Structure 1
Amino acid sequence: MRPRRFLPTVSLLTALEAVLRTGSTAAAARELDLSQGTVSRLIQNLEAQLGHALFDRHRQRLVPTEAARVYGRDVTRALDLIQRGSLEFAANPLGAALSLATLPAFGSQWLVPRLGRFTLAHPGIAIHLATRLKRFNFAAEGFDAAIHFGADDWREAGHLKLFDERLTACAAPDLIGAHPVTRAADLHGLPLLRLETRPTAWDLWFAAQGGRAPAGGGMLFDQFAPMSQAAITGLGVALLPDYLAVPEQRAGRLVPLLRPSVEGTGAYWLVWPAARAEYPPLRAFRSWLAEASRDALTRPDEASPLSPGSDGQGG
């Protein structure tokens, strides 16, 4: 049984979160559509229930204690989790749901185009997608699973390998028309676009071409999508995973350079918290995703970004 003293009502916690985020009871009151006096009383009631002050009072200003800031972060995560659960229930009140965190480009370009097959096979399971660039705490975020890039090193989690990342250097046709590339050294005069999470990718690509990457910079991106668009507009050469490179090549927006589809720096994985391993929607999704990733690699007749040999792509 949970002691009620340590289970404040949502109204008390919402007031605290709003005051911490907006910086004042007045701003919090406007956001919550309450009077400033009501917000102040809610804060006082919460302090009385917890038995400790959350704010130092300086004239008419509330200054949160350091402990209150830490507590506030926990409260925000809890409120976010309650809100997500409520939204998921409202979206699918009669069936099961799977809450999945995915990498932005992988989710939009590889996973979502294939999800129709899963929903046809499992009409009672609703998939709720959110994007995350970095790993997170499953317990705090409330996800059932995530798509992870790198190695099978997520702590206290199960792993299903989907496929290794393979990379192709791509550039806009006009850029290559003005600066022909016939050997790796020809790229030394062109801007190389870089991704924060793949710091050694260009080194690997140049090594696969029998060359050496130039020292120095180039535009830096935190996601593949804007980097791909930068390459399409002629701002430089992008090193893209095949599932992003091939569609742009088919559309004529980018052209591959030299030896395409070289081995990248890691693999894509489905990961899940060990405690959720036997959750039925996760079991169904895991089985379907394993088959989908195998099909993408082994069926060259399928219009898939990962079909070996399609559009001159190796591997």
Structure 2
Amino acid sequence: MSVPRRFLPSISSLRALEALDRLGSASAAAAELSLTQGAVSRQLQALERQLGLELVVRAGKKLTLSTEAAAYADEIRQALDRIAQATLTVQASPLAGSLNLAILPAFGMRWLMPRLPEFSRRHPDVTINMSTRLTQFNFALEGFDAALHFGNADWPGTDSLLLKQEQLLPVCAPELRQRYQLAAPADVLDMPLLHIQSRPNAWRDWFARQDVQPEGALPGTMYDQFATINQAALHGLGVALMPDYLVEQDLATGRLVALHAQPEDIGGAYYLVWPRSKARNPALLQFRGWLAGQAQPEDPLPR
């Protein structure tokens, strides 16, 4: 991408602008940047000449930014943070590099983690740094190279790799199951329902697939993560619609029982998502190439 020089001010002048905005005074900005106040002032003057705009309000020796300049400084701060992060990354892993990956906590821990040792053996020169995120975010602001997320592959400005269709199964504690007569799916409506924030229509969709049409809103308690709703189900607080890969062990040990014979796909899947601007990242290329071989929704979780 070719950008005219007038749109690329010097890093020094941009740092002076950002520091003045954040610290509120030229003296504090000068101290942080190891410059004199006069040098800070000259950096800002040079920036104003290049942009053809007045950015600084001068009252004697006091310098403050105009409203427009403060908004510009916010954008510059994010860009400087990304430059610093990219520099640290290439210094830490100069060969294959590192991958900054956002993961959903439950899917990351229960689906990805058991598979990662194989990736580490095959690609020991790639470092994967992981952080949890529960909802979609702006890649430009967060600085992640990729994310493991749930949805419909409609994240703007990205490409994706399907990893697993989500299949849900209604489960509860054995003690709770014994208290109810369940002859048909509609009888589940008599039980306390546990809902999760990220799938607000999951129960209604599940009942629709069983040809059950509940009247009005579905009551129940709401949870923000699968880890907490799983604990609620284990302690007999209600029935939860859980992804099959999350409850395999609890079903096998009898801590939970299934109220339906088979898990069902009621829409949505897990994807590896990456911004198109990061598509040539060497670490991402190796990771998604390996992950493509793991993307088999019908396979059980490795033991």
Give the alignment's TM-score, normalised by structure 1.
0.72
CA-atom RMSD in angstroms: 3.7
Q: Is the 8 A contact 2:97 2:283 kept in 1?
A: yes
Say if 2:168 is the partner of 1:162: no
Say if 2:92 is the partner of 1:74: no
Distance 1:172-1:80 versus aligned 2 partners, 3 A rule: farther
Say if 2:10 is the partner of 1:4: yes
- How far apart, CA to CA, are the structure 1 residues paired with 2:17 and 2:211? 64
Q: Is the 8 A contact 2:229 2:240 kept in 1?
A: yes
Q: Is the 8 A contact 1:182 1:258 kept in 2?
A: no
- How far apart, CA to CA, are the structure 2 residues paired with 1:65 and 1:260? 63
Q: Which one-letter code corresponds to 1:195 in the other structure?
A: I
Say if 2:279 is the partner of 1:277: yes
Say if 2:102 is the partner of 1:101: yes
DSSP-derived class of the 2:295 partner? helix
Q: Is the 8 A contact 1:209 1:259 kept in 2?
A: no
Aligned to 2:198: 197
DSSP-derived class of the 2:248 partner? helix
Q: Which one-letter code corresponds to 1:260 in the other structure?
A: Q
Q: Which one-letter code corresponds to 1:209 in the other structure?
A: Q
Give the C-alpha shift of residue 239 in structure 1.
0.9
Deviations 1:25-74 (A, max 9, x none): 9xxx9xxxx99xx9x999999977664359xx9xxxx9x98657745653
Aligned to 2:112: 111
Distance 1:238-1:281 versus aligned 2 partners, 3 A rule: same
Q: Which moved more, 1:165-174 or 1:64-73?
A: 64-73
- How far apart, CA to CA, are the structure 2 residues paired with 1:278 and 1:172? 47
Instruction: Determine which structure has more spread, i.e. the larger CA radius of gyration.
Output: 2
Distance 1:284-1:188 versus aligned 2 partners, 3 A rule: same
Give the C-alpha shift of residue 243 in structure 1.
1.7
Q: Which moved more, 1:222-231 or 1:206-215?
A: 206-215
- How far apart, CA to CA, are the structure 2 residues paired with 1:5 and 1:79? 8
Trace 1:1-315 onto structure 2 (pairs within 5 A): 1=5, 2-4=8-10, 7-9=13-15, 13=18, 16-17=21-22, 51-52=54-55, 67=68, 70-71=71-72, 73-74=74-75, 77-78=78-79, 80-81=81-82, 84-85=85-86, 88=89, 92=93, 95-213=96-214, 215-294=217-296, 297-298=298-299, 303=302
- How far apart, CA to CA, are the structure 1 residues paired with 2:146 and 2:113? 15
Q: How many residues align?
A: 280
Q: Is the 8 A contact 1:12 1:45 kept in 2?
A: no
**Percent identity over the alignment?**
39
Q: Is the 8 A contact 2:110 2:246 kept in 1?
A: yes
- How far apart, CA to CA, are the structure 1 residues paired with 2:212 and 2:281? 49
DSSP-derived class of the 1:292 partner? coil
DSSP-derived class of the 1:147 partner? strand
- How far apart, CA to CA, are the structure 1 residues paired with 2:267 and 2:205? 8
Aligned to 1:313: none
Q: Which moved more, 1:108-117 or 1:133-142?
A: 133-142
**Structure 1: 4+ residue segments shifted above 6 A:** 40-50
Give the C-alpha shift of residue 131 in structure 1.
2.0
Give the C-alpha shift of residue 227 in structure 1.
1.8
